[in-house]
Amino acid sequence: MKKYDDLVKNLKNDEYILLKSKDDLTFEHNKNTPLYKLTGFSGTAGEAIIDNKSKITLFVDPRYHIQADNETKDKYIDVIKLDMQTSAVQAFKTFLENKKVLYIPSKSTRLSYFNILQKALSFIKIIPYDTEDEMENLANIEEISLEISGMPYSKKIEKLKNKIKGQNLFVSSLEDVSYILNLRSFDIKNTSVIKAKLLILENKTILFSNDKIPVLKGIEKQPFNKMKTVLSKIETPVLIDENTISLNDYNLIKNPKKLRTNHIAKMASIKNSAEIEHYKNAFKKLDDALFAFQKRIKPGLSELALKEIFEEELIKKGAKSTSFKTILAIGENSSSIHYSSYSKDKTLKEGDIILLDCGGYYEGGYATDITRVFFCPLKPNKSVPEKIKEIYTAVLKAQLNCFFADLNQTMELDFLARKILKKYEKEGFTFPHSLGHGVGIPVHQAPPTLTLNPKYNIKLKNNMIFTIEPGLYKEGEFGVRLENTVYFHNNKKITLSKFPYEENLVNYDMLTKKEQKWLKIWQEGKMND
């Protein structure tokens, strides 16, 4: 298999290379990937295609339209802005019409995605290429206590073996391995996963990792460079999850057999009582950090300074690290959904809004996530612009209705939010992302996913943790998103996030009597009573 650098040097006409933002052992966006180095685009989702003349075309979904424009400005890059109904693969189909070859990275392309590409792009030849292996620093690995995990790793493996009924299983997802073994690492920002893969056989379990893993009874440790040899010797079928295994790892297995269900992900999506208690404590600390941050807001502070103030307070209040890259934007920058450029020159003025989407990892290594819009107070003789109050209140209406509504289907919750917010489309304010996502070791964990896509529609189950995050954004003006992390229990949503909403931005005339009552309950902290 050709390496990326050699491939670029010898690329011919009608041959193209697909660039992705992550590699096989990186849970978050990797700045060492060719995509970032060539484009500067730092979004966690996005793909690019490069031709033999080094012309790059970047494909991004609505969450990254503004960010992609800003980060690729003045570069030899075309940005293709997809809508919510168009996937990157559909766009590739038009873009690559009548072309000959597309090289794809084998270590960062999941098997399921490779199969989709092959089906959609059957008119061209798809050839995997290999990326250079990155030199690793050995990470510190921590075992989380039984008081937090609620279940020892031995029992989790036993439950898993009962599900697969004596068959072999290769676990390639970093978050799945971290969950099943109750191990975390906080050495890399924005993630707590360990860099490891797991092979479960009938008579033994092998953990592949280059890091110094604590001694785990009943588990054999091997370095990554032994994985190919071990996998290639197994004659009997090995179960794999096509949605998490890379094309590279899949090709190492002699007799792979696709799982119908990722049993570990399903297990991880239903939190036990110990995990729920840990989450309650973690969100209390996150709320405390937000209160401390709010007190330090004042005119003249830059986006970068505000971001650093928040992260300082986050650590002071007990977090080990951020659980994802902090999103902090002042004024018109808040219209960029995942904005994280933190300009030194963009400073806070009286009457400005600040959108802060943030979270932290605590000792359990489970992600926390919340979004609030703050307001820099005006002088007494000035008032908040009515449009800001209107949009903030509209998003608040969607948030309150989705939280308090007696609904338990993910799709119907997303539909409810869109129904409330749809009328603002004619003014250019859009809601171009899903209503919410599951939360676990990664900040985005599935299931559940709160979206209109029927593929992901499920009935919420007891102790599923997920976000509710409606938003409205208009490029060049501002954006508002209000996000809470909640869990489902006994047909009711119970909030983990308890931070209050910004009273200065609420237009009470827009709220019904019921919505005003809900807001009062929230502001007084009585929503779980």
Interacting residues of 307 by C-beta distance below 8 A, sequence separation 6+: 326, 328, 342
> To 10 degrees, the CA torsion angle through 208, 209, 210, 216?
-100
Q: What is the pLDDT of residue 152?
A: 98
pLDDT band at 24 (very low <50, low <70, confident <90, very high): low
For residue range 92-121, what is the model confidence (pLDDT) as tens digits? 999 998 778 999 999 889 999 999 999 999
Q: What is the pLDDT of residue 20?
A: 86
pLDDT of residue 206 exceeding 70: yes
pLDDT of residue 30 exceeding 80: no
pTM: 0.93
* Spatial contact of 171 and 177, defined as CB atoms under 8 Å apart: yes
- As a whole number, mean pLDDT of residues 272-280 equals 98
pLDDT of residue 471 exceeding 80: yes
Tokens 């959904």 belong to 337
Q: What is the pLDDT of residue 299?
A: 95
For residue range 338-369, what is the model confidence (pLDDT) as tens digits? 998 899 999 999 999 999 999 999 999 999 99
- As a whole number, mean pLDDT of residues 440-460 equals 95
The beta strands (E) that lie in 110-193 are given as 125-129, 142-143, 168-171, 183-184
CB neighbour class for 512 (10 Å; exposed up to 12, middle 13-18, buried from 19) = exposed
**In the chain, % of residues over pLDDT 70:** 97
CB neighbour class for 37 (10 Å; exposed up to 12, middle 13-18, buried from 19) = exposed
- As a whole number, mean pLDDT of residues 169-183 equals 97
Q: What is the pLDDT of residue 98?
A: 79
Tokens 């941050």 belong to 293
Q: Which two tokens stand for residue 326?
A: 């902090």
Q: Which long-range contacts (CB under 8 A, 24 or more apart) does 138-141 make?
A: 138/210, 138/211, 138/212, 139/185, 139/187, 139/188, 139/194, 139/195, 139/211, 140/185, 140/186, 140/187, 140/212, 141/183, 141/184, 141/185, 141/194, 141/211, 141/212, 141/213, 141/214
Q: What is the pLDDT of residue 516?
A: 98
Q: How is residue 247 annotated by DSSP? A: H
Residue 72 to residue 260: CA distance in whole angstroms: 40
pLDDT band at 333 (very low <50, low <70, confident <90, very high): very high
Q: What is the pLDDT of residue 1?
A: 65
pLDDT band at 529 (very low <50, low <70, confident <90, very high): confident
Q: What is the pLDDT of residue 478?
A: 97
- As a whole number, mean pLDDT of residues 479-496 equals 97
pLDDT of residue 135 exceeding 80: no
Q: What are phi and psi of 524, to 5 degrees?
A: -90, 0
For residue range 285-323, what is the model confidence (pLDDT) as tens digits? 999 999 999 999 999 999 999 999 999 999 999 999 999
pLDDT band at 27 (very low <50, low <70, confident <90, very high): very low
**In the chain, % of residues over pLDDT 90:** 83
Q: What are phi and psi of 357, to 5 degrees?
A: -110, 115
Residue 345 to residue 334: CA distance in whole angstroms: 15
Q: What is the pLDDT of residue 134?
A: 58
Q: Which two tokens stand for residue 221?
A: 């440790």
pLDDT band at 3 (very low <50, low <70, confident <90, very high): confident
Q: What is the pLDDT of residue 518?
A: 97
Residue 43 to residue 71: CA distance in whole angstroms: 10
Interacting residues of 399 by C-beta distance below 8 A, sequence separation 6+: 468, 470, 482, 484
